[in-house]
Amino acid sequence: MTRPITRRALLAAVPAAGLAGLTLASCSTDNDGGGGDAPDGPVELRMTVWSANDGHHAIFNQIADAYIEANPDKVSAVSFEALADGYVDALTTQIAGNEAPDMAWAMESFAAQFVAAGVFTNLTPAFEAAEGYEYDDLIPGAIGLWSSDDGLHGYPFSNSPFGIYVNNDLLAAAGQPDPRDLIASGDWTWDTLMEIAAATAASQGVAGFQPPADAATAWNDALAPMWLSWGASAWSEDGATATFTSEEMVEFFTWYHDQVYANLAIIAPGEEYDFATGQIATRMSQLSASTGLAEAGFAWDFLPLPEGPAGTVPVVGQGGVGVLTQGPNPEIAADFLAFFTNPDNSRLLAQFFPPPRTSLLNVETLAAAAPALTEEQLQGTIIDQASAAVTKPGNPKMSEISDPVRIALDALWTADADVEAALTAANDAAQALLGA
């Protein structure tokens, strides 16, 4: 059985701050996924997702079809709804309009907010009750962001370390050292990487270094995986106090600004280049970016993150999925999600998404996910890093502070910017909401 990707007609967009209004008071009081009366017959489940990738949906549907075949009395269909731009706003609109899906993706930046607001039900009872689930196989560091005192509220099905893609041909043509030699000698640092990027850009007429997102539009996604190596943070550990003006953040942002405008090592916000076509010397990204590189036509490598002033800090970006407390079928959805994320199906999902399971963090499993990567790249950049990595940070009020901080940081993206003034404005904007 095949199903098309569903795209529901969304209600009018609501501000991202609307997520803050989704409190337990507006949700089902049964936080273990037991709200509502039992359905009379099989139900149709719906999961909202970020991706419209055909390969992703083929795997999703394969797993769903197997569940339906084994549980025809519970579920008659499962649809995977790829929402358009503004995913969090669109999902918030559905929940606020009493059209909540049964399950939803959430990125790690919003995990703390979804968990704290009671948007997701507790999955632990369903997962522990599922035959062969192997709950203890889940990597503790990977599930921490999605957990609260009573259990697991989201499953990080994608637990993908960040690394550095390098165009070896461009570096060689520019007379730059092989980064693997720098790793071996202990000289693989952010400063060295930027020297290489700037020299290659100047010599070869290409972009030097591309961050994982556009810093002007997605500051946390682009910069947090880097500033952690400075020992920096945008907020305190409890998320309640903004720390954009800390010594470490000022040092990092001054360094980053210099690399963009003085050294011309990092592409400026708004500039677009493509690593796969040879336009970029070095790029920070994840395993999925290796897709298509087998046919790139140049020699390339995928390396662990460099060392910063605070040492080497491996970082993973996550995509998680949870069962909506306000969804129409929370008990059945939790049962399906236990099937969707069991060891066998996690192995299928690993074709695209590194799983948060110790037993599946091996070269054999991940080679299917990224056939273009060598055993050395998989072991050194994915497996070794995932076991010790921290998760890219989020905040319980991420949806509220994201845009005000972005607007304040806009002042950074000129050559003559006052870095400390921009960070003070960002700090004030964030604290006004964190302290509210």
What pLDDT digit, counting tens, does each position of 38-56 carry?
Answer: 677 899 999 999 888 888 8
Whether residue 154 contacts residue 115, with contact meaning beta carbons closer than 8 Å, is answered with yes
pTM of the prediction? 0.84
Angle (CA) 300-53-286 rounded to 5° is 35
Q: Give 341's DSSP letter.
A: T
Tell me the C-alpha to C-alpha distance, in Å, between residue 336 and each of 83, 115, 267: 21, 20, 43
Tell me the per-residue pLDDT of 406-430, one tens digit each, with 9 for 90 and over: 999 999 999 999 999 999 999 999 9
Angle (CA) 232-236-242 rounded to 5° is 85
What average pLDDT does this structure show over 165-178? 98
Determine the Cα–Cα distance for residues 414 and 420; give it in Å rounded to an integer: 14
Whether residue 130 contacts residue 339, with contact meaning beta carbons closer than 8 Å, is answered with yes
Half-sphere exposure for 287 (CA within 13 Å, toward CB): 32
Q: Please list the residues that pair with 33 across neighbouring strands.
A: none
Whether residue 271 contacts residue 265, with contact meaning beta carbons closer than 8 Å, is answered with no
The residue that leads in pLDDT, 23 or 408, is 408
Q: Which domains does the chain have, with CATH numbers?
A: 16-161+317-391 (3.40.190.10), 164-314+398-434 (3.40.190.10)
Q: Give 25's DSSP letter.
A: G
Tell me the per-residue pLDDT of 310-340, one tens digit each, with 9 for 90 and over: 999 999 999 999 999 999 999 999 999 999 9
The candidate with the shortest Cα–Cα distance to 113, out of 425, 329, 433, 405, is: 433
Phi, psi of 230 (to 5 degrees): -100, 0
The residue that leads in pLDDT, 410 or 88, is 410
Work out the angle between the directed axes of helices 247-261 and 219-227 (0-180°, nearest 10).
110
What is residue 313's three-state secondary structure? coil
